[in-house]
Amino acid sequence: MKRYVSLAFNVPVPKTFTYESEEELPLGVRAIAPFGRRSLSGFVVDPEASPPEHLDRVKSITRRIDEAPLFDGAYLELAEWMSRMYMASLGECLSAMISLGRTEKEPAAFGVDEPAFDDHDLRLSAEQEQAVEQISAKRGGFSYLYGITGSGKTEVFLQVAKRVLEEGRSIIYLVPEIALTRQVVDTIRRRFGESAAVLHSRLTPSQRLREWMRIRRGEASFVIGARSAVFAPVSELGLIILDEEHESSYKSGSTPRYHARQVAMHRCSSEQARLVMGSATPSVEAWHLMNEGRLERLSLTQRLSGGSMPHMEVVSLTGAEGPLSEPLVQAVRETHRAGRQSILFLNRRGFAAFYQCRSCGFVLRCRHCSVTLTYHKVKGKMICHYCGYKTDPPQACPECGSLDSGFAGHGTERIEEDVDARFPDLTVRRLDTDSARKKGSLEAILDAFRRGEIHVLLGTQMVAKGLNFPGVKLVGIIQADTGLMLPDFRAAERTFSLITQVAGRAGRYSPDGRVIVQTFQPFNPAVRYAVQGEVESFYREEIEMRRGLAFPPFSRLLRVVVRSRERAAAERAAAELAGKLSHAAGEEAEVMGPSECALAVIAGNHRRQLLIRTDVFRRTHAAVARVLAAYRTPSRVYLEVDVDPVSVL
């Protein structure tokens, strides 16, 4: 009797393919099979497929790869949900979920016997105790641990995790970036030993596979990792922890464009597990859910290890020469004299050309979308990347009439040179994604800084995330408002959260922490509320603004990007799709665009976008999926779909 199996491949074709097989192939193993003129590895998703229509054209499996299956039927259901939700093929989803494919061979970053910080005698504070009790009391459901930076959220997570393990259930602990989470990883390894599995991106494929199988067999029941660890094949999921919930790195930047928070919510609901999110700066969506009582809020209000919230001050950059103000330079020097360390934070994002008044700080925004308009040299116009609105750049500031206005943005190199030149006698080191990519250099810099051998750490986004250095007294934010200029409705939220998080690096272990926030816009609400620590006020205003403009959480967005090396082809396809989508989505949804993406050309590809806004998500999602499935994409035109986009650049 002939036997047929279906495979799902990592290709953007929304179907599976049937082959003849000599041997029985179970669900969840990988096999190699001919695909077009190539030979590809695919996942067995149907071990007993029915014979296809054209039997004479059926090809045979070349060989089986895995002895033991990588997933089971329940896991396949998760992949099918992914495929529907994010409009990607089943094979693309399985490949993203079971990412074993990385080939670069690098040693695991951390040894097991790292020296660890002492934590054996921690007595939980009353707030921590209560949070642990409340989360543990439920078998499922979502909670949010909202606690200021340094308030001991990690300890709450670990205590809850301990109880979940005692129930015989498993845990997935998600962090934005595993390389910056060494202390937590060490603690987990020390406390939970062999039952811990650390999914590090630097694991080799064979190390990854070994960890994957250990998790599947239930030998590892405490998994810690970044975004894709949300797919860990744990048995009896009991808890997902989503630390730093607001981080945009939880959203995948390539197909399938999933959000780990959304996947975690889905998994916890369907597997009857608890979800605990945590942050000092929740996303606006999460805050809104908490306010509405749809998400349980647990608060931690105190710093526990001898620290207190730092003193924050604002320095206006208006009229300043160079990127470092006199007060900031003085503060760095004073800090050094006192034998302490400084962190200078530089926001690399946000260097698009935007229009700004140097006298009053006014920034030109779209009258329809409130996002910053971007200047296009070629056309000589200010353009909105959401709705396509165009206008001429003003001669004088529309707010105060000043002629001292124009296109703003300091180059990052210039800032780095300036810092070096200002402190020739201090040891200054840079920490950014470039320097971190070099093997071991991130660890080396962080260790040297921890030992006090570096006086000033100049860093980008990386220094904002969860780092704890006892010697840090001063944090300087070089230009707090760069992110505000991005043509993105989340610009204010990101700025607020970044200032708060970066500031949280100061004074974690001593009461004399100090933060200097340099800005062109001292009165911008995102800056002002962050500096004054007025969290509630920020969210209240921001939520009202979102409501007024019908942006999430008061609507949901779907984004379609059309790209092609030929501009005309991209434009034509975008216009055609806009028509089809408006028709299919009807009155219920609004199709904005086509407009140029803020990053209008990437690697020679012209990019156009459509933003679909709806408050009947299911129906609009279905309509968009139908249109895209039926659409015959012209040759050399490519589509990207992003459901609930986090960034729209």
Q: Which residues bind ligand ADP (CB under 6 A)?
A: 119, 122-125, 128, 147, 149-155, 304-305, 468
Phi, psi of 438 (to 5 degrees): -65, 130
Query: 406 or 533: whose CB is closer to Zn ion?
Result: 406
Per DSSP bridges, beta strands 311-316 and 341-345 are: unpaired
The residue from 400, 403, 599, 602 that contacts Zn ion (CB under 5 A) is 400
Question: Tokens 């996947």 sit at which residue?
Answer: 263
From CA 81, how far away is CA 10, in angstroms rounded?
A: 16
The residue from 62, 299, 359, 412 that contacts Zn ion (CB under 5 A) is 359
Phi, psi of 527 (to 5 degrees): -75, -50
Residue 523 engages Zn ion in binding (rule: CB under 5 A): no
**Which listed option, Zn ion, ligand ADP, none, makes contact with residue 147 (CB within 5 to 8 Å by class)?**
ligand ADP
Nearest to 339 by CA among 506, 453, 478, 457: 453
From CA 411, how far away is CA 471, in angstroms rounded?
A: 30
Residue 590 engages Zn ion in binding (rule: CB under 5 A): no
Burial of 307 (0-12, 13-18, 19+ CB in 10 A): buried
Residue 192 engages Zn ion in binding (rule: CB under 5 A): no
Helices (runs of H) and strands (runs of E) counted in the chain: 17, 27
Axis-axis angle for helices 535-549, 525-532 (nearest 10)? 160
Minimum CB separation of residue 357 from Zn ion in Å reads: 3
Cβ neighbours around 375 below 10 Å, total: 18
Minimum CB separation of residue 591 from ligand ADP in Å reads: 42
Minimum CB separation of residue 361 from Zn ion in Å reads: 7
**Which listed option, Zn ion, ligand ADP, none, makes contact with residue 7 (CB within 5 to 8 Å by class)?**
none
Minimum CB separation of residue 18 from ligand ADP in Å reads: 50
**Which listed option, ligand ADP, Zn ion, none, makes contact with residue 122 (CB within 5 to 8 Å by class)?**
ligand ADP
Question: Tokens 């990988």 sit at which residue?
Answer: 30
Minimum CB separation of residue 483 from Zn ion in Å reads: 19
**Which listed option, Zn ion, ligand ADP, none, makes contact with residue 400 (CB within 5 to 8 Å by class)?**
Zn ion
Residue 357 engages Zn ion in binding (rule: CB under 5 A): yes
Residue 444 engages Zn ion in binding (rule: CB under 5 A): no
**Segment contacting Zn ion by CB under 5 A, of 54-62, 356-364, 480-488, 576-584:** 356-364
**Which listed option, ligand ADP, Zn ion, none, makes contact with residue 318 (CB within 5 to 8 Å by class)?**
none
**Segment contacting Zn ion by CB under 5 A, of 187-195, 307-315, 369-377, 471-479:** 369-377
Give the count of residues interacting with Zn ion (CB under 5 A): 15
| Cβ-Cβ contacts under 8 Å for 196 (sequence gap 6 or more) | 188, 189, 220, 222, 223, 224
CB burial readout 49-84, b (16+ within 10 A) else e: beeeeeeeeeeebeebebeebbbeeebbebbeebbe
Query: 155 or 644: whose CB is closer to ligand ADP?
Result: 155
Chain centre to alpha carbon of residue 412: 23
CA-based angle 460:464:470, to the nearest 5?
Answer: 115
Query: 88 or 298: whose CB is closer to ligand ADP?
Result: 298
Minimum CB separation of residue 192 from ligand ADP in Å reads: 17
Minimum CB separation of residue 386 from Zn ion in Å reads: 5
Per-residue binding string, Zn ion, 373-392, x by CB under 5 A, is -----------x-xx-x---
Please answer whether residues 518 and 499 qualify as being in contact, where contact means their C-beta atoms are separated by less than 8 angstroms: no
Residue 396 engages Zn ion in binding (rule: CB under 5 A): no
Query: 269 or 305: whose CB is closer to ligand ADP?
Result: 305
ω into residue 594 within 30 of 0, thus cis?
yes
In sequence order, what DSSP letters do the residues of 582-618 get, joined into one string? HHHHGGGEEEEEEEEEEEEEETTEEEEEEEEEES-HH
Query: 384 or 456: whose CB is closer to Zn ion?
Result: 384
Residue 370 engages Zn ion in binding (rule: CB under 5 A): no
Query: 504 or 593: whose CB is closer to ligand ADP?
Result: 504
Rg (CA), the chain: 26
Query: 153 or 385: whose CB is closer to Zn ion?
Result: 385
Query: 145 or 457: whose CB is closer to ligand ADP?
Result: 145
Residue 60 engages Zn ion in binding (rule: CB under 5 A): no
List of residues contacting Zn ion (CB under 5 A): 357, 359-360, 362, 366, 368-369, 384, 386-387, 389, 397, 399-400, 402
